[in-house]
Amino acid sequence: MRTSSLTRCHLALLAAGTAFGLISIATPAHADDPKPDKSGYSLFSPTPDSALRDFAADRPAKSFGPTTIDAGRVQLETELFNYSHQKTDGIRTQTYVGPNPTARIGLLKDIEFQVTYSPFVHQRVTDTTVSPSTTTSASGSSDLFTRLKFNLLGNDDDSKVQIGLIPYVKWGTAPESLGGNRATEGGLIAAYAFSLPNDWSLALNTEWDNLKNGANSSYHSQIQQTVGLSKQVVKDVTLTAELWGLANYDPTLTRPLRQYSFDTALAWMARKDLQLDVGANFGLNSQTPSLQVYTGITRRF
């Protein structure tokens, strides 16, 4: 009953956020500065440089933005290195990932395709509950993620509200030694962005995941929620701070999985189509990695 109530609460939040954005009044564009008509552009008829929308990357934060890549254009967002450390019930886990690229490909004016895959993941697990302690290591690739992003509001106008929907599929390519389950899973992400006074921006993500149970072939729900604030602190450098939470409703778990973190990141626009970033995430409970640090690069072509 508790699980059902929490799930309904998150779905209600998703619906409320979408409704709020759809009834918001967009700031109109100036009559003497009309926006170009991009409806004729596609994957095979690329958007020209003169009509490109402002650069927007999904990284470095955990949340996804609602803006899509212009039709016929490609944006490569690559995590160069990621390290995380977690210690739970005497089990210490260290994970190294890199690189971890995401290719974003503009299909139509408001639709893009994404694919994410890391060819190298290394994990060290140390059991300190025994004496002497034991350490095991495993290496391999990550799971493969494919996504479609649909922008519903605010892609090319001056709206202070942007809304996107991102359905995704996870293909089980990670080995079991790295925690992979070889299952095909999926879900839906609702992404919102709001322009606030004094050049602040607010990002919200509500994510529903349909995951395979740990101990049988049935599936269960998982809910993730992200709330973030961003602001340009000096020229071309943006600071982001986020709160992230996860609730997993696998009925086969002996201990319910709940994770929470406070995340920070800096992004520097080195050039018009090039962004560099660094970030650190801090776990707020024992089930969450206590520290995760990373750096990455984004390039639009």
Question: What residue ranges do the domains of the chain occupy?
Answer: 2-26+42-300
pLDDT at residue 21 in the model: 47
Predicted TM-score (pTM) of the model is: 0.88
> What stretches in the chain show pLDDT beneath 70?
1-34
Under a CB-based contact definition with an 8 Å cutoff, are residues 295 and 280 in contact? Answer: no
CA distance 246 to 258: 6
What dihedral do alpha carbons 106, 109, 111, 115 form, nearest 10°? 10
Q: What is the CATH number of domain 2-26+42-300?
A: 2.40.160.40
What are the backbone dihedrals phi and psi of residue 82, each rounded to the nearest 5 degrees, phi first? -140, 130
Residue by residue, what is the 3-state secondary structure of the chain? CHHHHHHHHHHHHHHHHHHHHHHCCCECCCCCCCCCCCCCCECCECCCHHHCCCCCCCCCCCCCCCCCCCCCCEEEEEEEEEEEEEEECCEEEEEEECCEEEEEEEEECCEEEEEECCCCEEEEEEECCCCCCEEEEEEECCCEEEEEEEEEECCCCECCEEEEEEEEEEECCCCHHHCCCCCCEEEEEEEEEEECHHHEEEEEEEEEEEEECCCCCCEEEEEEEEEEEEEEEECCEEEEEEEEEEEECCCCCCCCEEEEEEEEEEEEEEECCEEEEEEEEEECCCCCCCEEEEEEEEEEC
pLDDT at residue 10 in the model: 53
